[in-house]
Chain A
Amino acid sequence: MKIEILGTGCPKCKKLDELTKKAVQELGISVEIKKITDINKIIDYGVMITPALVVDGNVKVAGKIPGIEEIKKWIGE
């Protein structure tokens, strides 16, 4: 499973990063979380508002910070 966080480095993106790390920790699984900051790559996912969370190539949420339960649900799928 590959988790990617799309963001240019602003506080919201860092927050999503923290929350995701926490979700992964609480689920007890080992997953690689990658941060993508290059704008052109972010656009390639079709995302216009950062931050965004991508799980295995699928964009789960963009433009807002989801709750930790939602993140866990997406990872668990």
Chain B
Amino acid sequence: MNKKYNFIVILGVFIFVYFAPFSQLEIPQPIIESLLMAQEYAREHVLLCLIPAFFIAGAIANFISQENVIKYFGAKTNKLISYSIASISGTILAVCSCTVLPLFAGIYKRGAGIGPATAFLYSGPAINILAIILTARILGFELGIVRAFGAIIFSVIIGLSMHFIFEKKGIKNQAEQNNITNFSAEKEERSLGKTILYFATMIGILIFANLGRDDSIEIWQLIYNFKWQITGILLIILSWMLIKWFKREELTQWRNSSLDFALQILPLLLGGVLVAGLLLGRPGSEGLIPKIWIEKLVGGNSLWSNLFASVVGALMYFATLTEIPILQGLLGAGMNKGPALALLLAGPALSLPNMLVIRSIIGTKKTLVFILLVIIMATFSGMLFGHLF
């Protein structure tokens, strides 16, 4: 079976990257950097962070009724609800990044209109749950949290701005604005309570397994010493929940979805890490691009550096999660935190190919305004963040 083969290949590559003694090779430094960065990712992030994250994403994709969330995007929904849901539903709906564009088009044309649609368009890719988890882990908790909240808040601001600039006053075409049809009307297999519980357990496992040291806080130290015991207990609780609350078939589907995510994303992430390592080197070392250039372009927290980072982020295409190793390389090479945030806020939502598709849905003028709004917001939040932190 094709998939089994892919899995074995990826497993093989992982084991190779994990164990190979790259630092002893006699090859040009940037290439060693690239391989060492991949090794670091394999050793430190894949097992404890990415794999649980893939399972969480698989659970979201399989067990959270996306249709239930979408019905909040209807034309008749209260505006406050549409915008709030639009800005955070990306965590649930954008698990597969390809669903963002069709969903955006749907909300725009048949649902709540350009406001909530652009809010979703912006926040969806930005608060993809895998991206947030990995950002917090690799780039730091601050950046992870600020990225998530920044995406949510700005998506509402951008959505509202688009609404005020473009929403035609007058009677909307009633025929188009029907409520969203629900196609796969399924009964929920588990109550909301149970769903919250097993998700909380999975997130707990993710957090405790990845707990870092913080010797300055006493309670933290205590918890840190027991992190593996706590993780173990949570795992046992999770297994019990899985056995009691899920059918065999559901567990298989869940496992398959998680595997699909892993197979889809790991190669891209590996590519991103290798390129980032090659061009920028690991934090503290040099890659192909001289540190001086990075420092000059985005080293400080000036308007120029933030603007530059925003524009580059907007144009560049980042495959899922690849913005993280690239940003890690840039930060290590001297990029300031401000422009880093700017890149994180402008990067995932936009790219040149992406802009063309958006243009085919909402037209050139609206697309340009949207892009401009994103760049302005990203630049200013970057400057603010760089200034405060």
A residues within 8 Å of B by Cβ?
7-13, 15, 39-40, 42-43, 46-50, 52, 59-64
Contact = CB atoms under 8 A, between A and B. Distances in A.
Interface in B245-287: 260, 264
Given A12-B96, A62-B184, A48 B101 contact: no
Question: A11, A50, A61, A64: which has the most chain B beta carbons within 10 Å?
Answer: A64
A42 B108 CA distance: 13
Interface residues of B, number: 29
Given A11-B264, A49-B70, A43 B105 contact: yes
Given A11-B264, A61-B184, A63-B67, A47 B102 contact: yes
B292 interface: no
Interface in B124-165: none
Contacts of A47: 102, 106, 183
A63 B184 CA distance: 8
Contacts of B102: 8, 39, 42-43, 47-50
A48 B260 contact: no
Contacts of B181: 46, 59
A7 B73 CA distance: 20
B261 to A, nearest CB: 10
Contacts of A60: 183
Contact of B99 (A9, A15, A49): A49
A12 B96 CA distance: 8
Contact of B106 (A12, A43, A59): A43
B203 interface: no
Contact of A43 (B61, B99, B110, B183): B110
A52 B106 CA distance: 14
Contacts of A49: 66-67, 70, 93, 99, 102-103, 106
8 contacts: A7-B98, A43-B105, A48-B107, A48-B110, A49-B93, A49-B106, A52-B183, A64-B184
Nearest to B361: A39
Contacts of B183: 47, 52, 59-63
A12 B256 CA distance: 12
A64 to B, nearest CB: 7
B98 A46 contact: no
B355 interface: no
B180 interface: yes
Give me the 4 closest cross-chain CB pairs, A-B, nearest first: A10-B98, A48-B106, A62-B183, A46-B181
B105 A39 contact: yes
Contact of B101 (A8, A62, A64): A8
B105 A42 contact: yes
A8 B62 CA distance: 20
Contacts of A63: 66-67, 99, 183-184
A48 B180 contact: yes
A10 B96 contact: yes
Nearest to B180: A48
A8 B106 CA distance: 13
Interface in B99-122: 99, 101-103, 105-107, 109-111
Nearest to A45: B181
A13 B102 CA distance: 12
Given A39-B102, A43-B110, 15 more contacts: A8-B101, A11-B98, A11-B260, A12-B96, A15-B260, A39-B361, A43-B106, A47-B106, A49-B103, A50-B99, A59-B181, A63-B66, A63-B67, A63-B184, A64-B66
B342 to A, nearest CB: 28
B20 interface: no
